[in-house]
Structure 1
């Protein structure tokens, strides 16, 4: 039996009236839902490398995601040329493309740095806030607390698309987006793709459905996710350095000197052939490197085809000792060593640190309230209650609706008070992580009395 027939499904988590029975038609409909959704639009004001940059030529998360999408499309086409079984080409390409476009939608403001700030704040603040709001924990609470404290952009992407935006994408599209196999509430094991959480406790029913529909995802990955990961690596490997040069944080001479002293002969040769210093250099350099990486990724996908279909292949497709892959790894490592720790970048991140932590601290008192106090804020007339009510009114209606749907009836919780508080924390995290870089700064200024 052709294994790809079972990977392309029209099925969605929620049944829809008049839904098509064709997998391709449903996957094509996903494209329209994805391209028009607000989380994709918000990527235009979220950080790639340089927060709050006003230069149009420097990449945002949106332009990065568009580049990943195009690279993913090329990889899918390359693989399809040699795949040993009949495959629905349009469905295969569309699933890869849209997973690439969506892969960063759950990232908070200020990217991975912002993620670290949120995790640090949660680790220091949640336990005392829980004590004030709820009191003594149940036996289930340590797992729920671990889930809340391990904020992760990949897991937030799944939550954002499914639980908050309600896009009701096909199960195939959601499976292609999941890079990691374990939940944030589950301990890390020695199995494959356990490095980071791939989903939160709040989305475990969806993930259970994915496991039922695609057995490879129960302990590993959906096969097309390997191509998403490779496309992301290929896209930012050179782009971050190009942006650094464009912004004046790094010079071509500095990069060339390091490359000649540290990189492999393959990378030095590709650099020289791209005619450094002439107009269009980075475009030629990127094209030459990708021209070699595309068949390499395809070769690795087909070499490990059976393990990938079973979800058991444990390495990224570019984790191989081949000149082009090693060159890409060197470029990424150089960016981390010589760009991300530059004074200019760190200064922008410090502004993000102050804003993110300031917003979280300002809204923290809402988490110290009991459930009854929180839900009755509309009736309080004392000074403190009026302040809390105004904070409450700044929370987005869509996120509040998700909180109300789940706080009183979501299954799987042993304690009603803990369920309500769990989704109250999720409400704050949904709000803050969904902010753009500029929005979190504006909110911070307002809360500090500096607006206007």
Structure 2
């Protein structure tokens, strides 16, 4: 069984909506624009990439990281698209640039579900629901509890794109099926991951609240079904993931240099290995003219070009494997020099950057911040759902998060197999995970009676 390109690049939109015909803009361009103009995307500017609450304006945040990943992904997608188009494998109405636009859009959105404080924020949410907040889950089904106790930014991202942003509970951003399927990095639900029944333990991409939308998207593009609530990946996921890895393998190191954690020689010894000798001679001459902080841009283009060329070649050589639904990592299929450079860069970042005292201090504090928000808001949404005779405090919390943003009665009836408490708690998660690092910290102080007046 194999997937077909004509379905994989469909421009039909979620809800089986026909794509709009617009002069000068393809449906995939429209996907890109909808993501960029969303509040969820804009808030990435104040969310942690690696260093929480960074005061240095040159350090990456989730927004600048996403924009850079999108640039690399677009180039990679166009390179692959050109070859697929030349070979007559794409539908007549789909251009090589459309492949680039789809990958570009998914790269823009790949971190859109990240909570405050990045992966530490994810861990803080999981920790709270597993311990102090466990009592709030008592009326929920096992699979619903697992969604919260194993909270995943990837699943929250799919929820934002399909449910929470623009048109709440009615298609969300209403993106094309091709873009949504290419976004699904882990196309399975949470519960089986606890028993090692999925390719990656504790990683998943779909909440129970979006399970029916997940099936709709997977069916529309023709993903291969493996089991209930588990499909193979869309081939373009591999390009999005590779673009992300490439940027991690360059830009995290640049941040380390900017913060004085790394030295230029440590970075150059890794990245220079992928640059051809002819280019290296010229670039080294240019490097000698610059101080360390200005050296990264000199070689960045050559490194990214080497990464993209290698990834495009590897994707095309393994096209049949991707179409067969094999779960393969594109970076591992690249030229050994490229694979090693990316791996060595990640190792250096893990050993030197991720253990920096400032980062560790703020990450520890983020657990208290997230616990405060979850306790106040989580308790309030359940109180509000359970009875009309809720407390004054609950009323004020609901005023803050917006009563009109809570699941409607029609939505709850439509999801009759879901616990009302679970659906309400997911709204609390929408609000909390949507907070920026700064707003989450500010709000926790306010909730604890230690805040400042605006």
What TM-score do you get using the length of structure 1 for normalisation? 0.85
Cα deviations by residue, 1:192-218 (Å, 9 ceiling, x for unpaired): 567611111111111111221223353
Could you tell me how far apart the structure 2 residues matched to 1:38 and 1:217 are? 33
Q: Quickly say closer, same or farther: Cα 1:191–1:393, change in 2 above 3 A.
A: closer
Cα deviation, residue 392, structure 1: 2.2
Corresponding residue for residue 76 of structure 1? 77
Q: How does 1:425-440 map to 2 (within 5 A)?
A: 425-440=425-440
1:403/1:427 contact within 8 Å kept: no
1:9/1:170 contact within 8 Å kept: yes
Could you tell me how far apart the structure 1 residues matched to 2:119 and 2:142 are? 25
Q: How does 1:325-404 map to 2 (within 5 A)?
A: 325-366=339-380, 369=383, 371-373=385-387, 375-377=388-390, 385-397=391-403, 399-400=405-406, 402=407, 404=409
The one of 124, 138, 151 equivalent to 2:131 is 124
The one of 326, 335, 351 equivalent to 1:312 is 326
Corresponding residue for residue 380 of structure 1? none
Corresponding residue for residue 155 of structure 1? 155
Q: Quickly say closer, same or farther: Cα 1:403–1:60, change in 2 above 3 A.
A: farther
Cα deviation, residue 235, structure 1: 1.0
Cα deviations by residue, 1:15-61 (Å, 9 ceiling, x for unpaired): 55894499x83323223322211111111111111111232211111
Could you tell me how far apart the structure 1 residues matched to 2:389 and 2:421 are? 15
Corresponding residue for residue 106 of structure 2? 99
Corresponding residue for residue 417 of structure 2? 412
2:81/2:97 contact within 8 Å kept: no
Could you tell me how far apart the structure 2 residues matched to 1:398 and 1:242 are? 43
Q: Quickly say closer, same or farther: Cα 1:154–1:66, change in 2 above 3 A.
A: same
**Which SS does the other structure have where 1:113 is aligned?**
helix
Comparing 216-225 with 112-121, greater Cα deviation is found at 216-225
How many residues get paired?
426
Corresponding residue for residue 278 of structure 1? 290
Could you tell me how far apart the structure 1 residues matched to 2:434 and 2:259 are? 27
Q: Quickly say closer, same or farther: Cα 1:216–1:189, change in 2 above 3 A.
A: farther
**Which SS does the other structure have where 1:443 is aligned?**
helix
Q: Quickly say closer, same or farther: Cα 1:54–1:264, change in 2 above 3 A.
A: closer
What TM-score do you get using the length of structure 2 for normalisation? 0.85
2:257/2:263 contact within 8 Å kept: yes
Q: Quickly say closer, same or farther: Cα 1:168–1:267, change in 2 above 3 A.
A: closer
Q: Quickly say closer, same or farther: Cα 1:404–1:237, change in 2 above 3 A.
A: farther
Cα deviation, residue 319, structure 1: 5.2
The gaps in structure 1 that reach 5 residues or longer are 378-384, 414-418
Q: How does 1:13-412 map to 2 (within 5 A)?
A: 13-14=14-15, 19-20=20-21, 25-83=26-84, 84-87=87-90, 88-131=95-138, 134=139, 141-165=141-165, 166-187=172-193, 192=199, 196-216=203-223, 218=225, 219-252=231-264, 255=266, 266=273, 274=284, 275=287, 278-279=290-291, 280-318=294-332, 322-366=336-380, 369=383, 371-373=385-387, 375-377=388-390, 385-397=391-403, 399-400=405-406, 402=407, 404-412=409-417
**Which SS does the other structure have where 1:317 is aligned?**
helix
Cα deviations by residue, 1:359-408 (Å, 9 ceiling, x for unpaired): 222334336648432x443xxxxxxx2122212222145632x3655334
1:10/1:20 contact within 8 Å kept: no
**Which SS does the other structure have where 1:105 is aligned?**
coil
